[in-house]
């Protein structure tokens, strides 16, 4: 099925070369949407936009004025807004007792207060309904060592998504999260998953027996953006091959695998 997003306008925030945000933007364009991509690093963002052939705007999700200006500009350039995606994140790995106040404030800005204000801006510019999509993580549900600030803020913003679904459903707004596991071809988790022993550890915990890919997440984001999911809201859609049925490997296991060869 082609052109599933024909006539729709989408804003994807958190785009960088090779990441999940880029994969989602590419899929949306392939399916007929008008797309504007946004991210913090100008050179990387502009390279992606040139490759995709779409509009771009630099935006730091932690700066409220930039977020508000981004959404207003997207509406103007795209002629409205039907889909808003947040794929921003910071994969901090640090023991619980080593988290500094600065770490916590930075993580909160990137993964909680920034997305919260981004969603506020989207809602102000989507009066006739639309789809809001947050890229979450399997670790908002199952444990992973040395990842508490990341996991906690992802879980918190998932609940904010539920609040949006609850409060704005009467306006035709649908709000959902997508929770991937490790994504083998994305920068945040792909490095470790390129190591055969580490990949094998994760695949042991995934019933479908393979690591996730950015395309898997993009497929879910396409469905949530399309009219095919018109009665789906307030959900966390896990795209992890069933990993929540099992667990993440321990950090001890990961380190042992990384140093085994």
Q: Among all chains, which residue has been given the structure tokens 């919260």?
A: 116
12-48 CB burial, b ≥16 within 10 A, e <16: bbbbbeebbbbbbbbbbbebebbbbbbbbeeebbeeb
| Burial of 66 per CB tally in 10 Å (0-12, 13-18, 19+) | middle
Q: How far is residue 187's CA from residue 209's CA, in Å, rounded to a whole number?
A: 21
Looking at residue 175, the DSSP 8-state letter turns out to be E
Residue 150 is among the residues annotated as catalytic for this protein = yes
Given 28, 118, 150, 202, which residue is catalytic?
150
Spatial separation of the C-alpha atoms in residues 103 and 122, rounded to whole Å: 27
Residues belonging to the active site: 150
């Amino acid at each position: 099925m082609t052109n599933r997003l024909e006539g729709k306008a989408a804003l994807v925030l958190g785009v960088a070369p090779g990441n999940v945000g880029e994969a989602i933007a590419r899929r949306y364009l392939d399916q007929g949407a008008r797309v504007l991509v946004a991210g913090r690093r100008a050179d990387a963002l502009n390279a992606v936009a040139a490759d995709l052939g779409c509009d771009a705007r630099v935006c730091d999700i932690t700066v409220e004025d930039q977020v508000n200006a981004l959404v207003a500009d997207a509406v103007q350039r795209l002629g409205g807004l039907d889909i808003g995606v947040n794929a921003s994140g910071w994969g901090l790995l640090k023991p619980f007792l080593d988290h500094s106040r600065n770490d916590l404030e930075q993580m909160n800005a990137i993964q909680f207060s920034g997305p919260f204000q981004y969603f506020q801006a989207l809602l102000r510019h989507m009066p006739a309904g639309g789809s809001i999509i947050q890229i979450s993580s399997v670790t908002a549900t199952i444990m992973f060592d040395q990842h508490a600030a990341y996991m906690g803020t992802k879980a918190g913003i998932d609940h904010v998504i539920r609040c949006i679904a609850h409060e704005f459903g009467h306006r035709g707004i649908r709000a959902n999260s997508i929770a991937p596991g490790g994504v083998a071809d994305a920068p945040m988790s792909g490095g470790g998953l390129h190591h055969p022993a580490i990949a094998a550890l994760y695949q042991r915990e995934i019933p479908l027996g393979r690591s996730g890919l950015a395309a898997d997440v993009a497929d879910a984001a396409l469905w949530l953006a399309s009219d095919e999911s018109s009665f789906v809201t307030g959900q966390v859609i896990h795209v992890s091959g069933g990993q929540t049925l099992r667990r993440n490997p321990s950090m001890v296991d990961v380190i042992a695998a990384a140093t085994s060869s």
